[in-house]
Structure 1
Amino acid sequence: MITCLIVDDEPFAREQLADLLKPLADVEVIAQAGNAIEAMQCINREKPQLVFLDIQMPKISGMELIAMLDPEQMPRIVFVTAFDEFALKAFEHNAFDYLLKPIDELRLAQTLNKVRKDLRPQALAAITPSQLEHLPCYSGSKLKVIATKEVEYVFSDLSGIHVASCKGKAHTQLTLKLLEEKTPLVRCHRQYLLSPGAIAEIEILDTGAEATMHSGDRVPVSRRYLKSLKTLLGFQ
């Protein structure tokens, strides 16, 4: 059984594809998502084998979503798009496959045959952005998209990963490691990343240092990262 997720911000497009897949005995649509945040939560929770992913979505695109996923547990990604140039770009960079809207039933059958033959992990690094412009977050029952440039710092504790921005705090499912690699945030502590541009001052302490952000929040800076942070800010 091939478990799959349909990701598209257009409800009609999702239902149309789900209707095409429904008669297939070996394909199960386990969920649908209308945006990248919902999709990432579902992928992390359900671990579908196949994701039909719209490329053009508001705030966070399909390409950005892929960059946020764990490459070691990447599902098969089939791009779904109404734009030929995007589809051709994805295909040329070794994406597994693509479908053009409106989806042709015969073309869909060809794609699924490829999936049945090959469910090995795929390499999508060539087409994913090296830097994330937005972070998918949630606060209670609200889903939020926070621009990376608005983030002051990020920290982890027993309850998860927290993103602090000029608009308040929220949770994210992205890891500190991925955020360090895919954003301008820099490591200042084992449990903290911060934006150098959001630092108002740094106070040197016996045990390390504390950075005061423009918001007034104080962020710990351990001895291990103090020298590199000072160098980054232009202090010798």
Structure 2
Amino acid sequence: MITCLIVDDEPFAREELAAQLADAPDIEIVGQCGNAIEAMQAIGKLRPQLVFLDIQMPRITGMELLAMLDPDTMPRVVFVTAYDEFAVQAFERHAFDYLLKPVNEQRLQQTLEKVRRDLRPQPVATLAPARLEHLPCYSGQRLKVVPVPEVEYVFSDIGGVHVATAGEQVHTNMTLKVIEEKTPLVRCHRQYLVAPGAIAEIEMRSAGAEILTRTGARVPVSRRYLKSLKQLLGFH
């Protein structure tokens, strides 16, 4: 069975595509999501092999969501779009496949045949934005979109990956690796990333150092990353 996730902010569009996929005996729909934050959580938890992804969604678009996925574990992504054929041709060379809304049954079957023939995830990094503007986070039952400029530091522990701003700490399903590659945050410790603009001072210690942020938070710095961090800030 090919596990599948449908991501679209329009409930009718999700249900219509789900009804069409129901006729494929080897496709299992493991979930439906109405926005990118829900999709990030579902992809991390369900690990679908195939994602039907709407491009035009509020706050975080399908393109931005694509950039947030870890390339090492990324599923096949099929874009579902209302763009006209000329716009589709602009990214057709990079995406695994695309479907135009309303989804044509014959065209959907062609997409499924491509998926069946090629089980390995396709490289779509050339289509994804090089930098992220927001991080999809959550705190309890609240789904939050955190602008990257508001992030002071990010760290991982046994509870997952946490995003710290001046006002709160929230959780994200993104990995430190992807955040490091897609944002201005820099590595200061194996388990920590920090925003250079949030650093007020660095306190030198025998076993490394500690950052004091502009809001008073303390972030560890390991010896491995101390030299590069000092150079980044203009110290030699």
Aligned to 2:187: 187
CA contact (8 A) 1:79 1:87 kept: no
CA contact (8 A) 2:3 2:50 kept: yes
Moved over 3 A (4+): none
Helix, strand or coil at the partner of 1:37: helix
CA contact (8 A) 1:55 1:79 kept: yes
TM-score, with structure 1 as normaliser: 0.93
Aligned to 1:204: 204
RMSD, aligned α-carbons: 1.6
CA distance in 1, matches of 2:160, 2:30: 26
Aligned to 1:91: 92
CA contact (8 A) 1:36 1:136 kept: yes
Aligned to 2:166: 166
Helix, strand or coil at the partner of 1:229: helix
CA distance in 1, matches of 2:4, 2:17: 11
User: What are the superposed Cα offsets for residues 165-202 of structure 1, whole Å, 9 maximum, x if unpaired?
Assistant: 13411011112122111111111112211001011222
Report the Cα offset of residue 37 of structure 1: 1.6
Helix, strand or coil at the partner of 2:126: helix
CA distance in 2, matches of 1:175, 1:23: 35
Aligned to 2:142: 142
Q: Map of 1:1-236 to 2, 5 A cutoff? A: 1-84=1-84, 86-93=87-94, 95-236=95-236
Report the Cα offset of residue 86 of structure 1: 4.6
Number of aligned residue pairs: 235
Report the Cα offset of residue 27 of structure 1: 2.1
When structure 1 is superposed on structure 2, of 109-118 and 141-150 the one drifting more is 109-118
CA distance in 1, matches of 2:178, 2:62: 17
- 1:173 partner letter: N
User: What are the superposed Cα offsets for residues 13-62 of structure 1, whole Å, 9 maximum, x if unpaired?
Assistant: 11111122223322222210111121122122222221110011122221
Give the unaligned 5+ runs of structure 1. none
Give the unaligned 5+ runs of structure 2. none
